[in-house]
Amino acid sequence: MAGIVEKCALVPKLRFPDFLEAGGWKFIPLSHLAIRTKQKNRDEKIERVLTNSAEFGVVDQRDFFDKDIATQGKLEGYFVVELGSYVYNPRISSTAPVGPISKNKIGTGVMSPLYTVFKFKDNSNDFYEHFFKTTGWHTYMRQASSTGARHDRMAISSDDFMAMPLPVASLDEQQKIADCLGSLDELIAAQAQQVEALKIHKKGLMQQLFPRAGETQPRLRFPEFQDEWMAQDLEELSESISSGKDKVATDGAFDLYGSTGIIGKTKNCSYGGTYILVARVGANAGLLTKTTGEFGVTDNTLIIILNAKQNIDFIFYYLDQIGLNKMVFGSGQPLITGGQLKALTIRLPKEREQQRIASCLSSLDTLITLEIQKLETLKTHKKGLMQQLFPSAQAVAA
């Protein structure tokens, strides 16, 4: 593999007009374009530990894990990763099936020697940052990796990794592609910020529209409502609060809800209508879901069946604002019980105010959903564009 300097000329499906007559691309081993860097952190001069996340790229380890995984006295064997270097993490996941390759854009730090660090000879290499977000190099990695690899990480020698064939076009065409995709990334980032801003706005609004702990009235009310809010236990507002009993059946027709949301199908349709579900056990204990239709529920989930006269949307938003995860107990197996929910005190205004609050928040949820759809549309557009701006994975492997 290492002896292959270039492969037959190929062209992407989509090219900018300026380059239609520019001829085909070539594929050249990574070792001809970049240098593997193996500088160790001698004397532990650098204390900033980085990690390469499949979702977020190169980030500070403390920020990503919310704690330091690597400790002092163990960093001298770590690789120094300079700003602008690329890092390959061999750990595989659903979002990075052969492990991610990311560019360090946050500053110099150190990384585990399990990672492969390399630096392009040409500083104008944003083109390859985008290429590594495609699947165009995955086929090669699968072919070059050891068949005896661990199930959760790739096993590939340094020589084979550096022999990976990379696409090469003219510098002008590469920069044009990088600029195009970079602009699209900026649009995606701006849309993501819009979504996050709406979510923050909703959270702040909910804190104002519902009474805070120890208070009997909300701090923000619609001007036409002045009546006192009355306290009632959730049990008084419900027909029942209990665990589900359905089992997974792969050939079932109905969605089955567990502690992580929909976990499969069931033959049983135990419930039909709109209900509030609460994850009962595990890492998601306290997680709220409002579901409508016909479905089943496992015993890992509590189902709240409210009295017919109750406004389910208002109750759902009220519980969401409280944060039921605060009621979870147990370190080994986090748990929230039906008894806790039954004894939970809820303050209620009159029906018209409940409906006004629920409608306000529901409208905001609709807006958030629309903005999320716009974000996903941009991501899908970028993914499709990248597949056409670079030669296909099959073509690279051919």
> Is 146:155 a contact under the CB 8 Å cutoff?
yes
**Spatial separation of the C-alpha atoms in residues 347 and 221, rounded to whole Å:** 14
- Tens digits of residue pLDDT in 250-297: 778 899 998 888 988 988 788 889 999 999 998 899 999 999 999 999
Among 28-32, 182-186, 238-242, 281-285, the minimum mean pLDDT is found in 281-285
Q: Could you tell me the pLDDT band of residue 2, with boundaries at 50, 70 and 90?
A: very low
**Spatial separation of the C-alpha atoms in residues 227 and 353, rounded to whole Å:** 9
**Spatial separation of the C-alpha atoms in residues 265 and 249, rounded to whole Å:** 6
3-state secondary structure of 278: strand
Locate 62 and state its tokens.
């403390």
Instruction: Supply the pLDDT for residue 191.
Output: 98
- The alpha carbon of 375 is separated from its chain's Cα centroid by a whole number of angstroms, namely 13
Q: What angle do CA 18, 20, 23 make, to 5 degrees?
A: 115
Instruction: Supply the pLDDT for residue 73.
Output: 57
Would the pLDDT of 157 be above 50?
yes
Instruction: Supply the pLDDT for residue 4.
Output: 39
Locate 397 and state its tokens.
């492997």
- In this structure, what DSSP letter does residue 242 have? E
Would the pLDDT of 149 be above 70?
no
Mean pLDDT value of segment 62-75: 65
Q: Could you tell me the pLDDT band of residue 389, with boundaries at 50, 70 and 90?
A: very high
Would the pLDDT of 174 be above 50?
yes
Please report which residue ranges of the chain form alpha helices under DSSP H.
30-33, 61-65, 126-131, 138-144, 158-162, 171-209, 312-322, 338-342, 351-389, 393-397
Pairing of strands 301-306, 271-279: antiparallel
CA 92 → CA 24, 52, 64, 117, 343, distances in Å? 32, 12, 17, 17, 45
Instruction: Supply the pLDDT for residue 109.
Output: 94
Would the pLDDT of 314 be above 60?
yes
Would the pLDDT of 393 be above 50?
no
> Is 223:330 a contact under the CB 8 Å cutoff?
no
- In this structure, what DSSP letter does residue 340 have? H
Would the pLDDT of 361 be above 80?
yes
Instruction: Supply the pLDDT for residue 66.
Output: 57
Q: Could you tell me the pLDDT band of residue 64, with boundaries at 50, 70 and 90?
A: confident
Q: Whose CA is closest to 57, among 130, 153, 159?
A: 130
Q: Do domains 17-170 and 230-348 have the same CATH topology?
A: yes
Percent of the chain with pLDDT over 70: 93
Mean pLDDT value of segment 91-99: 91
- Tens digits of residue pLDDT in 222-257: 999 999 999 999 999 999 999 988 888 777 889 999
What contacts 32, CB < 8 A, 6 or more positions away? 5
Residue type, 38: K
Instruction: Supply the pLDDT for residue 72.
Output: 53
Q: Could you tell me the pLDDT band of residue 394, with boundaries at 50, 70 and 90?
A: low
- Backbone dihedral region of 98: left (phi > 0), alpha (psi from -120 to 50 degrees) or beta? alpha
Would the pLDDT of 395 be above 80?
no
The whole model's pTM is what? 0.83
Pairing of strands 288-297, 254-258: parallel
- In this structure, what DSSP letter does residue 348 have? E
- In this structure, what DSSP letter does residue 153 have? B
Instruction: Supply the pLDDT for residue 392.
Output: 62
Pairing of strands 86-88, 116-120: antiparallel
3-state secondary structure of 280: coil
> Is 100:57 a contact under the CB 8 Å cutoff?
yes
Mean pLDDT value of segment 322-333: 88
Locate 277 and state its tokens.
């579900």
- Tens digits of residue pLDDT in 33-59: 999 999 999 878 888 999 999 889 999
Instruction: Supply the pLDDT for residue 249.
Output: 76
How far does the chain reach from its first CA to its final CA, in angstroms?
13
Q: Could you tell me the pLDDT band of residue 150, with boundaries at 50, 70 and 90?
A: low
Among 144-148, 155-159, 178-182, the minimum mean pLDDT is found in 144-148
The yes/no answer on whether domain 230-348 falls in CATH 3.90.220.20 is yes
Mean pLDDT value of segment 337-342: 95
List the domain boundaries for the chain. 17-170, 230-348
> Is 92:53 a contact under the CB 8 Å cutoff?
no
- CATH architecture label of 17-170: Alpha-Beta Complex (3.90)
